Amino acid sequence: PLQDFCVADNSSHVFVNGFVCKDPKEVTAEDFFLAAKLDMPRDTKMSKVGSIVTLLNVMRIPGLNTLGISLARIDYAPLGENPPHTHPRASEILTVLEGTLYVGFVTSNPDNKLFWKVLNKGDVFVFPQGLIHFQFNPNPYKPAVAIAGLSSQNPGAITIANAVFGSKPPISDDVLAKAFQVEKKTVDWLQAQFWAR
């Protein structure tokens, strides 16, 4: 930040790294506020992977612009998961509000070491910036809930399966077949799954 605040002006037609700001004279407390209902469970039924991420980033709360922080609530169905993904612009610290989570992250080449843990209510875990990580609710009967802080107002998220097999247009199946050491028809089948999403 180069001033007290720079509230994002989502109506502007000028695009910059981050967002241009509203005229500071027109900024109000509402710009730093959201009635986000973060206390309310969200319905995970529509999710193929059994989870819903409610991310409060600068697109949701314009006052976050330039401040380097965002907050998320994640609801997990029984056996639901937040599948392997990366945040290209943020580290994450997560605490479990309800239920149990099997969580982990994988380091970069060449080790690709998995650091994992089973978290219970009240436990906390950290996911370093840019590394592939996931959370999975191993309980077949009970949902789980977590709250996470992220070190960017716009962390971004790249869900690995969707980005690799569901990109628009699709990545050539020659590339993916060789990358995953599978046949092209397997790739084509996977792409069909994720393209539908």
Residues within window 28-67 making contact with a second copy, judged by CB under 8 A: 28-30, 32-40, 48-50, 56, 61, 63-67
**Torsion angle of C-alpha atoms 72, 76, 80, 84, degrees rounded to 10:** 10
- List the one residue from 10, 142, 179, 184 that touches a second copy (CB under 8 A): 179
Instruction: Please indicate if the annotation marks 13 as binding a ligand.
Output: no
Among 178, 183, 184, 185, binds a second copy (CB under 8 A): 178
Q: Does 146 bind a second copy (CB under 8 A)?
A: no
Least CB distance to a second copy at residue 61 (A)? 6
Q: Please state the closest distance from residue 155 (CB atom) to a second copy, in A.
A: 9
Distances (CA, A) of 11 to 7, 19, 61: 12, 10, 14
Q: What type of residue is 134?
A: F
Q: From residue 107, give the alpha-carbon distance in Å to each of 98, 130, 163.
A: 28, 9, 19
Q: What is the rounded distance in angstroms from the CA atom of residue 45 to the CA atom of residue 82? A: 14
* Min CB(57)–a second copy separation in Å: 10
> Is 85 labeled as ligand-binding?
yes
- Encoding tokens for residue 36? 């986000």
- The answer to whether the annotation marks 109 as part of a ligand binding site is no
The answer to whether residue 139 forms part of the interface with a second copy (CB under 8 A) is: no
Near a second copy by CB under 8 A: residue from 78, 95, 100, 139: 95
Q: Among candidates 196, 172, 167, which has minimal Cα distance to 187?
A: 172
Smallest distance, Å, CB 128 to a second copy?
A: 5
User: How many CB atoms lie under 10 A from the CB of residue 96?
Assistant: 23
d(CA 90, CA 152): 5
Per CB under 8 A, the list member of 52, 70, 76, 101 interacting with a second copy is: 70
- Using the rule CB under 8 A, is 144 a contact of a second copy? no
Q: Are 4 and 66 in contact (CB under 8 A)?
A: no
Binding-site members for Mn(2+) are: 85, 87, 92, 133
Binding-site members are: 82, 85, 87, 92, 133
Binding-site members for oxalate are: 82, 87, 92
